[in-house]
């Protein structure tokens, strides 16, 4: 397989993300010789339990997510962050869930954008928008180093790439920066060999971070 | 339609020819002459095969005529004559075949010597075509192509081969830099003299590989016969569904030694023609030996440990830029090792390959970074160059704990980006 880091845009205190930043970031990728290849889209769904009694809701995990990744169109990934569970299932499980009606969609988000090739690196820059809306909620970026799949062995390479990337972005004086928070893969039962489950866990972590940021902004406003 | 007289003459000539050269013309004949002789013999063999085919037709015809009613003894006479000439043809073919085997054309038992200029005997390809040098196929004429096209194809094939097998000829500065390198390293030459005995100990594949496994414990070495490697390469997992690496059919060098008595599966040393060096999660290198069972490497290639497919062999190229670059560099290193000391070429090459275990961790010795944008290709690459020029002498001497070895062992561990590498390093 390959190895991927998922980054998210952390706006500076007091500023929000907008599409201007997104286009600047895309130009930045091209300035380091990234070649635009095509579009990509991932979908993330927050689930809520379907119970008759409101009091029961609190007993179910609140952070139950489902993710559809473009590189694995036949799979669907479930994550319960609080309990560090990740599961890879066949994509037909979505039909099953609809039939069961035990969990319903609370909110669904799309990660939409373009894919770039940079030699042995593949980059994806995408905006975070809720389905049926054009409201830009955030920006995510995937940095993928294709030749090897060991999380540890590729760490130095990825860190250096991130340094190069941050340097390129900082030249544009944007109100914010990209952040990488590496989840503890071992807690999810994942090994050093990178898989799409690792990607799913990274997205779940990114979502938690985005939500925290939005909530922080809201609390400041209030 | 039936030129039997000239055939008998030809047979006599062929009988005479093998006897005139009792010893195959290897001693004292220059390689191009050997190649020319081998081409002639292959031509003779082709003619004999054609004669045999014609003879078989005639035999059938004689049988057919004999089956007709009202025939005299004529068909029987024809039959006897054809029988005699067929046996003669087959005998001649056998002797030509023996000659070709002895000169290494039909099998690979001939060791390519250090003064053979890197040229190998003509080989008979699996599709039956005979290849003296690959570019000769073009010159031999392609049906329907014009002379200009043939020449253009031949030139292209020739330049590709030249670039592949004689890369140092492309570099115009090569003569100057080898001189200065030689001047600088008079010292280590003395060291190398002291270790002649050690080097000459590594005469067989077993010696070389056992020594390697001892020195580099993180390395996994496997050996294969050529066809076995092709099977394994095609079965290597190439996607996310990688199962454990060591499950499929493989001949781990240690276990094959233990299993050898009375076991069917281990690779006999004289048939080993592919060595696989695997640093798990870092890279996989494939070295080919020619002829099989010898310690003469003839090609090397690097791949990602996750790559799989029939293109994974010592003359293949990885799909990833980093490993492609290393493979190109390794081809030059191999030529250097073969040119400087052919007897220890394999030993030096394998140790040099092991220096790449730090590919994704060791920063460039010139600029201090791991990733650098390569101007020419506009790609970010780690330091893919590891110096090989001073390698053979110094690496062997690093087993001795003296001060000069300590100084030079830090030289060994150098790595450079494509743009940071200079010949004087």
Instruction: Report pLDDT digits (tens) over B6-40.
Output: 445 444 444 444 443 334 444 456 666 777 888 88
Residue of B nearest to A33 (CA): B378
Q: B306 and A121 in contact by Cβ < 8 A?
A: no
Reported residue count of chain A is: 222
ipTM of the complex: 0.87
Do A148 and B360 count as a contact with CB atoms less than 8 A apart?
Answer: yes
pLDDT of residue A193: 92
Q: Do B281 and A192 touch (CB under 8 A)?
A: yes
Residue A173: phi and psi, rounded to 5, are 55, 55
Q: What tokens appear for B178 in the block?
A: 């080898």
Q: List the single best residue of B370, B372, B415 to mutate versus A (max A Cβ within 10 A).
A: B370
pLDDT of B305 higher than 70: yes
Among the listed residues B346, B340, B343, B352, the one whose alpha carbon sits nearest the alpha carbon of residue B298: B346
Task: Describe the strand order of the beta sheet including B274-279 as a list of residue ranges.
Answer: B220-224, B274-279, B283-289, B297-303
The percentage of chain A sitting over the pLDDT mark of 70, rounded to a whole number, equals 97
**Best residue of B278, B322, B384 to probe chain A, by most A CBs closer than 10 Å:** B322
Partner-chain contact A1 B360, CB within 8 Å: no
Partner-chain residue, chosen from B282, B378, B381, that has the shortest CB–CB distance to A148: B282
- Per the CB < 8 A criterion, the answer to whether B108 and B122 are in contact is no
Facing B370 at nearest CB: one of A1, A2, A156: A156
CA distance B84 to B51: 13
Residues of B in contact with A72 (CB under 8 A): 240
pLDDT digits (tens, 9 = 90+) for B374-405: 888 888 899 999 988 876 544 444 443 443 33
| CA–CA distance, B375 with B329 (Å, rounded to integer) | 17
Q: Which residues of B touch A121 (CB under 8 A)?
A: 380
Other Cβ atoms within 10 Å of B42 Cβ, number: 18
Are the C-beta atoms of B253 and B246 separated by less than 8 Å? no
Return the percent helix, strand and coil in chain B, to nearest 5: 50, 10, 40
| Confidence grade of residue B65 (pLDDT, cut at 50, 70, 90) | confident
CB B141 within 8 A of CB B148: no
Chain B closest-CA separation from residue A117 CA (Å): 10
Q: Closest Cα of chain A to B170: distance in Å? A: 26
- Chain B residue numbers with beta carbons less than 8 Å from the beta carbon of A149 are 281, 305-306
CB A3 within 8 A of CB A149: yes
- Does pLDDT of B188 surpass 80? no
Facing residue for B371 by CB, picked from A157, A193, A196: A157
Instruction: State whether B321 and A120 contact (CB < 8 Å).
Output: yes
Q: Could you say which of B304, B377, B378 has the minimum Cβ distance to residue A148?
A: B304
Segment A152-165, tens digit of pLDDT: 999 999 999 999 99
* A1: nearest CB among B240, B378, B380: B240
Q: Is the pTM of this model over 0.90?
A: no
Mean pLDDT lowest among A77-81, B35-39, B276-280: B35-39
CA–CA min distance A206, chain B (Å): 23
How high is the pLDDT of residue B205? 80
Distance from CA of A193 to the nearest CA of B (A): 8
pLDDT exceeds 90 at position B424: no
Residue contact B381–A120, C-beta within 8 A: yes
Nearest CA in chain B to A163: B371
pLDDT mean over B229-242? 71
Q: Which of A120, A123, A143, A200 to mutate to test the interface with B (most CBs of B within 10 A)?
A: A120
Mutation target to probe the A interface, by most A beta carbons within 10 A, among B281, B327, B357, B418 is: B281
Chain B residues in contact with A29 by the CB 8 A cut-off are none
């Amino acid at each position: 397989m390959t190895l991927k880091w998922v980054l998210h845009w952390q706006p500076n205190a007091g500023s929000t993300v907008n599409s201007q930043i997104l286009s600047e970031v895309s130009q930045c990728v091209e300035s380091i010789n990234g070649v635009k290849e095509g579009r990509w889209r991932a979908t993330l769904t927050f689930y809520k339990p379907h119970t008759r009694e409101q009091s029961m809701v609190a007993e179910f995990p609140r952070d139950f997510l489902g993710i559809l990744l473009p590189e694995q169109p036949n799979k669907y990934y479930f994550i319960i962050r609080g309990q560090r569970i990740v599961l890879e299932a066949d994509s037909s499980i979505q039909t099953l869930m609809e039939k069961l009606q035990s969990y319903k969609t609370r909110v669904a988000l799309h990660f939409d954008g373009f894919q770039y090739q940079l030699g042995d690196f593949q980059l994806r820059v995408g905006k975070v928008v809720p389905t049926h809306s054009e409201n830009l909620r955030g920006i995510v970026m995937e940095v993928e180093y294709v030749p090897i799949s060991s999380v540890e062995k590729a760490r130095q390479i990825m860190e250096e790439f991130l340094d190069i990337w941050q340097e390129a972005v900082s030249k544009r004086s944007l109100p914010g920066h990209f952040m990488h928070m590496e989840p503890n893969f071992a807690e999810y039962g994942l090994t050093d060999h990178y898989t799409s489950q690792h990607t799913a866990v990274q997205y779940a972590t990114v979502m938690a971070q985005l939500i925290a940021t939005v909530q922080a902004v809201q609390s400041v406003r209030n | 339609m039936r030129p039997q007289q000239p055939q008998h003459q030809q047979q006599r000539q062929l009988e005479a020819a093998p006897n005139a050269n009792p010893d195959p013309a290897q001693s004292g004949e220059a390689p191009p002459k050997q190649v020319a002789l081998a081409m002639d013999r292959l031509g003779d063999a082709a003619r004999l095969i054609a004669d045999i085919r014609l003879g078989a037709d005639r035999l059938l015809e004689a049988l057919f005529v004999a089956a007709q009613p009202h025939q005299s003894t004529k068909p029987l006479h024809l039959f006897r004559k054809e029988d005699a000439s067929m046996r003669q043809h087959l005998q001649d073919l056998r002797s030509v075949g023996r000659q070709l085997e002895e000169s290494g054309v039909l099998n690979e038992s001939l060791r390519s010597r250090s003064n053979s200029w890197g040229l190998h005997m003509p080989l008979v390809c699996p599709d039956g075509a005979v290849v003296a040098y690959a570019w000769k196929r073009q010159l031999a004429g392609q049906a329907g192509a014009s002379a200009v096209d043939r020449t253009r194809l031949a030139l292209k094939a020739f330049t590709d081969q030249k670039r592949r097998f004689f890369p140092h000829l492309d570099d115009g500065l090569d003569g100057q830099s080898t001189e200065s390198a030689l001047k600088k390293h008079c010292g280590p030459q003395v060291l190398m003299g002291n270790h002649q005995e050690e080097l000459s100990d590594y005469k067989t594949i077993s010696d070389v590989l056992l020594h390697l496994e001892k020195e580099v414990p993180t390395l996994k070495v496997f050996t294969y016969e050529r066809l076995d490697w092709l099977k394994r390469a095609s079965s290597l997992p190439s996607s996310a569904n990688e199962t454990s690496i060591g499950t499929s059919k493989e001949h781990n060098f240690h276990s094959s030694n233990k299993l050898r008595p009375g076991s069917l599966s281990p690779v006999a040393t004289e048939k080993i023609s592919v060595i696989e060096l695997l640093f798990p999660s870092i890279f996989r290198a494939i070295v080919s030996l020619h002829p099989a069972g010898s310690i003469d490497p003839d090609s090397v290639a690097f791949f990602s440990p996750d790559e799989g497919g029939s293109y994974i062999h010592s003359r293949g190229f990885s799909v990833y830029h980093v490993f492609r670059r290393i493979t190109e560099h390794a081809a030059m290193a191999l030529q250097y090792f073969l040119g400087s000391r052919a007897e220890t070429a394999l030993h030096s090459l394998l140790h040099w390959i092991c220096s790449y275990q730090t590919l994704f961790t060791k920063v460039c010795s010139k600029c201090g970074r791991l990733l650098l944008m390569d101007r020419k290709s506009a790609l970010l690459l780690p330091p893919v160059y590891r110096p090989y020029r001073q390698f053979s002498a110094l690496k062997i001497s690093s087993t001795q704990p003296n001060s000069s070895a300590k100084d030079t062992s830090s030289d060994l561990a150098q790595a450079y980006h494509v743009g940071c590498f200079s010949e004087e390093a």
